[in-house]
Structure 1
Amino acid sequence: MRKLWVLVAAGAVGTVVALSVPSAFAEDYAFADEFAGTAGTAPDSTKWTQETGCEWGSGKEQQCYTDGGHNAELDGNGHLLINARAEKYNGNDFTSARLRAKTMTGAGTVEVRAKFSGYQAGAWPAIWTTDEKTWPVNGEIDLMEIGLNKTWKPKYHTHYGTRGDVQSKGGIYADDPDDAGWTGWHTYKAVYTNGDNGSVKFYIDDVFVAEEPYQVPDDAGAQVILNIAVGSAAGTPDPKLDNTMTVDYVHVTQR
């Protein structure tokens, strides 16, 4: 959990005391979750909707999304665990979780700190924003998706335009020599503006990576989504799939 350290002077001799304060209290966020709670409990239902069902991705994905903490739960140490695994469920062979936050409108910043358990064929973790009811008109920002095309390299994208003319821009985050398997903590941030000249600036660990166009309406709405899809563009799943995305925090500011 990211924290703000505050120095407090106390007493006649000027004793200095360092206090750590969760950053969600130090900044005025439009949306924030630092996943405090008892181990094994489901994420806060006042902040997240756990979307359910099978046949996602036009039927190409192979997971069933569950709710009630079955595949998404708190670990008791300020983290959210999303787990995709081999499990018979409603006629499918895999289960997973997909969380959607409340709608934000206008320009802003989305920042998420997360890590992954490592490569397994068919696992497709993603941190993104969209309004699927109006896709791609209201756009999509992929802060991070990993596992596409059977490669364990995190990517970033913007998508916008119309159904008949979808524009997609983006790239691959540079390799981290200290984290070759992409299993360590990283902070993914998108700073975005809307409109005809809209754009998204992508950062990883507070280092600027790229700026991509993002031409969506000024009042375009979107929701943060956290999920692990199975199969489809990530390839044939490992029959013993057990893949986890751990999330430390989600912070959203709006301008």
Structure 2
Amino acid sequence: MHTTRKRRLVALTVAGAAAIALGAGPVLQGADPANAASGDVVWSQDFDGAAGSAPDRSAWTNETGGGGWGNNELEDYTDSRDNSALDGQGNLIITAKRGADGSYTSARLTTQGKYTPRYGRVEARIQIPRGQGIWPAFWMLGSDLPQVGWPNSGEVDVMENVGYEPATVHGTVHGPGYSGGQGITSSYQHPQGWSFADTFHTFAVDWKPGSITWSVDGVAYKTVTPADTGGNPWVFDKPFFIVLNLAVGGSWPGYPDGTTQFPQQMKIDYVRVIDNS
């Protein structure tokens, strides 16, 4: 994201940081990352399971806590099924709620220490929430985060939306010398000018050695290469982990107001990594 410093980053133990390209961890049945051909799905989370159950714990960890996450956010992230659960129809639902006392809860899920791809088409089919102060994101962080810190770890924001821009999504990279408000960023407008919250859309990056290309529903809208970093280090040729979260408030999106309705839900149909070599 292109805000001041974005999120409080929890340093978890990173097992498998030396994973091979396209990573380790749960894969689609029949797909072998070591023998994948271009176009093969090498990792997939389809969120099939009973309504109210947790997402696959071999793939996802719930990060918890509040404190603003570096962006003056309002939510407290929990591990409660009230905030993240399967819906029994093949979707993961991340729910942001407002309590009777005016506090907010939501969820943030990460594959840190469980799945760390290096390169591939990283995509998710998501129906985002809506409303002033609502901030859904699908993104990645370098798996060496605990060792080198942010922004040296690198960050790839595959999709972010701030509620006051219902027809716009953003794609950004952050690294040393181009972080926070200086992140290398671009945006994509809904071709009909409709709200992205109206239905599901597929958000993706095609990530290869020395390049990252963003797309929405198969339409590419931005490519970044080392030539775009202004001479600063390119930190994206290494394993990254995946993050899904739904924030409430913050310096960039602003804060909920009288028009914002709760609960709000971010619905994720699937997350996939596809060999694009």
TM tier, smaller: 0.7 to 0.9
C-alpha distance in 1 between matches for 2:176 and 2:120: 20
Range 159-168 or range 243-252, more displaced = 159-168
State the shift of 1:58 in Å. Answer: 2.3
Deviation at 1:165, TM superposition (A): 9.5
After superposition, what is the alpha-carbon deviation per residue over 1:160-210, rounded to whole angstroms, capped at 9, x for unaligned?
225889852121112231x7011211111101134xxx2211111122222
Distance 1:181 1:205 in 2: 14
- TM-score (ref. length: structure 1): 0.78
Instruction: Name the counterpart of 1:171.
Output: 186
Out of 42, 64, 81, the residue aligned to residue 52 of structure 1 is: 64
Kept after mapping to 1: 8 A contact 2:65/2:76: yes
User: What's 1:252 paired with?
Assistant: 273
SS in 2 for 1:137: coil
Matched, 1:96 2:106: yes
Larger radius of gyration: 1
1:59 Cα shift? 6.3
> Are the aligned partners of 1:24 and 1:34 in contact in 2 as well (CA < 8 Å)?
no
Task: Rate the CA distance shift 1:56–1:222 in 2: closer, same or farther, 3 A.
Answer: farther
CA distance in 2, matches of 1:51, 1:78: 22
Supply the distance in 2 between the matched residues of 1:164 and 1:87 (Cα, whole angstroms): 33
Residue 43 (structure 1) shift: 1.0
Please name the residue that 2:244 is paired with: 226
Superposed displacement of residue 79, structure 1: 0.5
- Structure number with higher strand proportion: 1
Counterpart amino acid of residue 235 in structure 1 = G
Structure 1: which amino acid aligns with 2:246? I
The count of aligned residue pairs is: 224
Q: Which consecutive unaligned segments of at least 5 residues does structure 2 have?
A: 1-26, 33-40, 227-233
- SS of the aligned residue for 1:161 comes to coil
Counterpart position of 1:106: 118
Q: Does 1:127 align with 2:127?
A: no
3-state DSSP class of the match of 1:104? coil
- Give CA-to-partner distance per residue, 1:92-150, whole Å, 9 cap, x none: 71000000013425322211011124x211110000011353322231111110016x3
CA contact (8 A) 1:127 1:227 kept: yes
If asked which structure has higher relative contact order (CA below 8 Å, sep 6+), I would say 2
Contact kept in structure 1, 2:203 and 2:215, CA below 8 Å: yes
CA positional deviation for 1:56? 3.4
Q: How does 1:1-255 map to 2 (within 5 A)?
A: 24-25=28-29, 27-28=31-32, 29-58=41-70, 60-87=72-99, 93-101=103-111, 102-117=114-129, 119-131=130-142, 132-133=145-146, 134-147=149-162, 150-152=164-166, 153-162=168-177, 168-177=183-192, 180-182=194-196, 183-194=198-209, 198-213=210-225, 215-216=234-235, 218=237, 220-232=238-250, 233-238=252-257, 240-253=261-274
**Structure 1: runs of 5 or more not aligned:** 1-22
| TM-score, scaled to structure 2 | 0.72
Helix, strand or coil: the match of 1:154? strand
